[in-house]
Amino acid sequence: MSALLEVIATTVADARLAAQAGANRLELVTAMGEGGLTPSLGLIEAVVAAVEIPVNVIVRPHSRSFVYDADDYAVMLRDVRAVNAAGANGVVIGMLDAAGGIDREGLARAIDAADGLAITFHRAFDEARDLRESLDVLLGFDAVTNVLTSGGQPSVLHAEATIRELVRQASGSHLTVLAGAGLTVDAIAGFVSGTQVEAVHFGSGVRVNGNGLAPVDADKVAKVRALLDAQT
């Protein structure tokens, strides 16, 4: 099996291009320059209607931090329910406590609101105090199917050894390590063979001129897909 390819979409056009070029799944966000915030309900519904592949939607109310107060949670849980009602495949969410651990109670509430949707724990994971300990916590939640991580580094390409260890730790479980941040078309083949990762996540790396604010570049998506398929 070749690695799963997830591509960030910020518009309906992005979503169509990525799907046609061979992406297996989308992560739908707005405000990509802030690391991704919750998109509008209209955009979620339009993208779900436009593509056949699964659409996972980020639920992140602001970019100040990953430690949330009661009002933030009230907003997030409403958004999780709205994402479910809009027909999306899953929710991309993450939360930490003040000590830098996974906020288990907050995660449990989000899972409850998601009502069976797939849960990806996003790169809040990379800001946790201990990645292995945090992965153990996530492995205790059956609903969490993916953890998006750059191995604690700004670029995942500088964290191959960490990703390899996390993949080994999650091996045989319900949870897939989804490696992302900083991946490029040129580096992907070596990265996947070096880490044995089963799922990769692309944002700027498959956009025009590598610019996060530019549209998806279908040729780059197709190239990544071909490189991943060549590794089976």
Dump pLDDT digits (tens) for 151-199: 999 999 999 999 999 999 999 999 999 999 999 999 999 999 999 999 9
Structural domains in the chain, sorted by start: 4-229 (3.20.20.380)
Both tokens of residue 27?
């992560």
**Tokens (6 digits) for 185:** 């078309």
User: What is the Cα–Cα distance from 104 to 88, expressed in whole angstroms?
Assistant: 24
* Cross-strand pairs, 25: 6
Cα three-residue angle 228-119-212, rounded to 5 degrees: 55
Residues 6+ apart with CB under 8 A from 136: 169
Q: What is the pLDDT of residues 15-42, one digit of tens each?
A: 999 999 999 999 999 999 999 999 999 9
CA distance 32 to 43: 14
